[in-house]
């Protein structure tokens, strides 16, 4: 069963159409909507943040579980539909905003650590994940729908083709797994690719300790600037860390990192160890 006929009717009545450039693929299959809410273990009375609420079909499922929903939607036409649908719903707080510019930290100060349950717009999903990870202290968990190929990057192992910057950063700060996959026919319009529900938990303390998360991010991004290049080449500009080339070499030696390796072969723990060693050299350089 699905909400497809209702969704199409709303599009017609409102004079709207899904915008491909915004990644607007609405999940309409009721079975999978229910599975998402179940996988997120949504409890009555808790606050849930939904990013990209669309026409509110997932919002309705969250409300059925008794949640208080903070629903973000940037599209003006979609937001108008949401206002009509939830005009009399006291447990829905509608927010007309771009998620990439929204102040999630301010919302967290109002309602506590944030739990996100959402079908993320495909076109900004990776940028949103970077933002969530960089602000991990205000999020407790994410249950998010992503393109399968994107989801698999987040759980990729070192040395594989899918292993990248976010694989490392999430490996340090979060516990990540793929709950299940959803076929394209469950969406409208139906994409040609599979989607996946990804569970991201931000435990405290994080899985891997690191002294300076920003320094770690700089290190990881620099290390992946050329996937086939060695760390000796990708990290040639030691000045980005505020240290000399000689200090970078010493930091690598002290953290047991061979600069002849490629960045894609380092585990999250190795990156964290290397970043901490660089941080110590940076302190010495500053004194």
Could you read off the pLDDT of 39-95 as tens digits, one per residue? 999 999 999 999 999 999 999 999 999 999 999 999 999 999 999 999 999 999 999
Whole-model pTM: value is: 0.92
pLDDT confidence tier of residue 1, bands split at 50, 70 and 90? very low
- pLDDT at 217 (0 to 100): 97
Of 190 and 102, more confident: 102
What is the DSSP track for 130-187? HHHHHTGGGEEEEEEEEEHHHHHHHTPPTTSTT--HHHHHHHHH-EEEEEEEE-GGGE
Phi, psi of 139, deg, nearest 5? -115, 140
- Which domains does the chain possess? 4-201 (3.40.50.150), 213-286 (1.10.8.100)
d(CA 94, CA 263): 42
25 is in an annotated binding site: yes
Q: What is the pLDDT of residues 145-202, one digit of tens each?
A: 999 999 999 999 999 999 999 999 999 999 999 999 999 999 998 888 999 999 999 9
Sheet of strand 195-201: strand arrangement: 92-96, 68-73, 47-51, 114-119, 139-147, 195-201, 175-182
At 129, which helix (H) or strand (E)?
Answer: helix 125-134
27 is in an annotated binding site: yes
pLDDT confidence tier of residue 2, bands split at 50, 70 and 90? low
Please check the confidence at residue 285 and state whether its pLDDT lies above 90.
no
119 is in an annotated binding site: yes
73 is in an annotated binding site: yes
52 is in an annotated binding site: yes
**What is the share, in percent, of the chain residues with pLDDT greater than 90?**
84
């Amino acid at each position: 069963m699905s909400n497809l006929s209702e969704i199409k009717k709303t599009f017609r009545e409102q004079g709207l159409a899904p915008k491909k450039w915004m990644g607007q693929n609405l999940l309409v299959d009721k079975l999978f909507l229910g599975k998402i809410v179940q996988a997120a273990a949504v409890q009555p009375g808790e606050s849930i943040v939904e990013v990209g609420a669309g026409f509110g079909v997932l919002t309705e499922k969250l409300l059925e579980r008794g949640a208080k929903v903070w629903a973000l939607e940037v599209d003006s036409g979609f937001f108008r539909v949401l206002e009509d649908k939830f005009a009399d719903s006291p447990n829905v707080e509608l927010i007309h905003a771009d998620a990439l510019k929204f102040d999630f930290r301010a919302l967290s100060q109002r309602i506590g650590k944030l739990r996100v349950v959402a079908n993320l717009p495909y076109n900004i999903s990776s940028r949103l994940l970077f933002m969530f990870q960089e602000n991990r202290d205000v999020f407790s968990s994410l249950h998010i729908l992503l393109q399968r190929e994107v989801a698999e990057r987040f759980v990729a192992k070192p040395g594989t083709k899918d292993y990248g910057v976010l694989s490392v950063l999430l490996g340090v700060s979060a516990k990540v797994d793929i709950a299940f996959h959803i076929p394209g026919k469950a969406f409208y319009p139906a994409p040609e690719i599979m989607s996946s529900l990804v569970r991201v938990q931000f435990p405290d303390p994080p899985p891997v300790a690191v002294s300076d998360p920003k320094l770690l991010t700089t290190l990881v991004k620099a290390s992946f600037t050329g996937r086939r290049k060695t760390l000796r080449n990708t990290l040639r500009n030691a000045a980005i860390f505020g240290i000399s080339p000689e200090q970078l070499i010493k930091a690598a030696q002290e953290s047991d990192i061979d600069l002849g390796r490629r960045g894609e072969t380092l585990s999250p723990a190795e990156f964290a160890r290397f970043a901490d060693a660089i941080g110590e050299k940076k302190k010495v350089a500053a004194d």
